[in-house]
């Protein structure tokens, strides 16, 4: 135990000595938490709309006004022909064309139906999909408005109609940040856990200091714990810092208990630090360990459910996410923050992470050899 105490002392001293580590540790989360939640927004606004109105009637005007007043679209082009409208799409001026054919109003009134054409620039798939859906919704609503106008009487619809009302549980205002900030916090902890500890050991290899450690009677587990604990503590510092930002800047107060988050984070950090340590036993240079940890955490992040829901991934990818510690943590963070889940609700996730921790750390200790050859 005495040896471990000296190792920890030395590690902490070195961390404090290195001004860049502390700076990175606290500036990185601050910037990420302040920028990412505001920028990474799924709602699509400001879709550039081009209108080809060949009808020029009251009805067509009303439709166009309704679309623009929805707030999602910006009228950027008003062309007399479809050809000209197409030109605007080609020159990237607009994303979407709504063509209103001649006699739109007349057909609608006389024949009870009128065609419309929506053409979408699908280079940006998300924009095209959502833009198309929004405009369709608006047109349907417009259609309903006209019907209501015409069918003043009878009071009750002759045709049965199903009306849907939504109620958003746990996040009633669909506040996007409440959902995103905890996830980004997890991403940050992951980066710190997986690459800082790994780099630290590899640095000892590069500097040759590990030779001196290896010829000493110090035990493997002492050395590895000596590396693990300081970064474990640092990561908690960053987590606390991040939770403060979430509360002060975004006003996110977890419905559940902070303690639940910390308990889970302690298991999570064990797993992710173990992964970093494992990496360091293989890598010979800091460059190698950096690149591999970057690669792996990127895949972990993309498969974590942070940016795209796991449920919409293909089946094989869903299976992969079960072997992804980050996915569990993001799930738990959201459960605790938004739903108020307690320790009993996240039992499975804790067990899973315990498994990861044993697996990564065990492998790291087995693979760390004080002698080569």
Partner 1 sequence: MQAIVVDNIVMKYKVKKSVTDALKGISFAVEKGEIFGIIGPDGAGKTSLFRILTTLLLADSGNASVDGFDVIKDYKEIRNRVGYMPGKFSLYQDLTIQENLEFFASLFGTSIEENYDLVKEIYVQIEPFKTRRAGQLSGGMKQKLALCCALIHKPSVLFLDEPTTGVDAVSRKEFWEMLHRLKIQGITILVSTPYMDEAGLCDRVALMQKGTLLSVNTPKGIVGEFNKPLWAIKATEMFRLLNEVKADPSVESCYPFGQLHHVVFKSSSDGKEKLEQIAQKGIFKEVEISSIEPNIEDCFMALMKV
Residues in contact with partner 1 by CB under 8 A are 2-3, 6, 10, 13-14, 17-18, 207-218, 370-373
Is-contact 77 96, C-beta < 8 A? no
Closest CB to partner 1 among residues 216, 308: 216
Q: Which is nearer to partner 1, 96 or 201 (CB)?
A: 201
Q: Whose Cβ is closer to partner 1: residue 71's or residue 217's?
A: 217
Comparing CB distances to partner 1, the nearer of 171 and 288 is 288
Output the CA torsion 191→192→198→204 (10° steps). 140
Which residue carries 């609608």 as its tokens? 108
204/331 with CB nearer partner 1: 204
- Residue 214 has a CB neighbour count (10 Å cut-off) of 15
Give dist(CA 249, CA 103) in Å, integer: 54
**Minimum Å distance from CB 205 to partner 1?**
10
Shortest approach of partner 1 to residue 9 CB, angstroms?
A: 8
Closest CB to partner 1 among residues 69, 369: 369
Residue 123: exposed, middle, or buried by beta-carbon count in 10 A (0-12, 13-18, 19+)?
A: exposed
CB 209 → partner 1: shortest distance, Å?
Answer: 5
Residue 154, preceding bond cis, omega within 30 degrees?
A: yes
Residue 18 or 148 with smaller CB distance to partner 1: 18
- What's the distance, CA 337 to chain centroid? 15
Report the nearest approach of partner 1 to the CB of residue 178 (Å): 42
CB of 265 to partner 1, least distance (A): 29
Q: What is the rounded distance in angstroms from the CA atom of residue 302 to the CA atom of residue 321?
A: 10
Q: How far is Cα 189 from Cα 266, in angstroms, rounded to an integer? A: 11
- Smallest gap, in angstroms, from Cβ of residue 258 to partner 1? 35
Q: How far apart are the first and last CA of the chain?
A: 30
Q: Residue 61: how many CB atoms within 10 A of its CB? A: 14
Parallel, antiparallel or unpaired: strands 96-100 and 117-120:
antiparallel
């Amino acid at each position: 135990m005495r040896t471990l105490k000296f190792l920890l002392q030395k590690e902490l001293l070195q961390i404090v000595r290195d001004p860049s580590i502390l700076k990175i540790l606290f500036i990185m989360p601050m910037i990420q938490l302040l920028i990412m939640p505001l920028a990474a927004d799924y709602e699509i606004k400001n879709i550039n709309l081009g209108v080809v109105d060949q009808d020029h009637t009251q009805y067509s005007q009303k439709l166009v006004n309704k679309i623009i007043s929805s707030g999602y679209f910006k009228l950027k082009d008003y062309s007399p022909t479809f050809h000209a409208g197409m030109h605007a799409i080609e020159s990237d001026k607009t994303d979407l064309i709504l063509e209103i054919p001649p006699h739109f109003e007349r057909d609608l009134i006389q024949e009870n139906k009128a065609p419309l054409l929506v053409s979408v620039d699908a280079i940006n798939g998300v924009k095209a999909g959502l833009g198309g859906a929004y405009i369709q919704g608006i047109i349907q609503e417009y259609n309903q408005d006209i019907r209501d106008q015409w069918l003043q009487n009878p009071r009750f619809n002759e045709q049965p109609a199903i009306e849907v009302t939504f109620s958003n549980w746990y996040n009633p205002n669909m506040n996007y940040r409440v959902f995103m900030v905890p996830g980004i916090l997890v991403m940050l902890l992951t980066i710190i856990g997986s690459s800082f500890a790994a780099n630290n050991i590899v640095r000892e290899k590069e500097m040759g200091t590990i030779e001196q450690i290896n010829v000493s009677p110090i035990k493997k587990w002492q050395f590895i714990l000596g590396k693990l604990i300081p970064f474990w503590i640092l990561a908690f510092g960053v987590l606390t810092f991040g939770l403060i930002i979430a509360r002060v800047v975004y006003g996110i107060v977890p419905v559940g208990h902070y303690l639940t988050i910390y308990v889970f984070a302690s298991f999570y950090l064990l797993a992710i630090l173990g992964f970093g340590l494992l990496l360091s036993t293989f890598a010979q240079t800091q460059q190698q360990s950096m690149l591999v940890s970057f690669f792996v955490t990127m895949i972990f992040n993309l498969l974590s459910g942070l940016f795209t829901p796991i449920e919409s991934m293909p089946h094989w990818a869903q299976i992969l996410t079960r072997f992804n510690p980050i996915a569990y943590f993001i799930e738990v963070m959201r459960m605790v923050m938004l739903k108020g889940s307690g320790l009993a609700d996240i039992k499975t996730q804790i067990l899973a992470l315990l498994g990861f921790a044993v697996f990564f750390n065990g492998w790291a200790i087995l693979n760390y050899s004080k002698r080569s050859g």
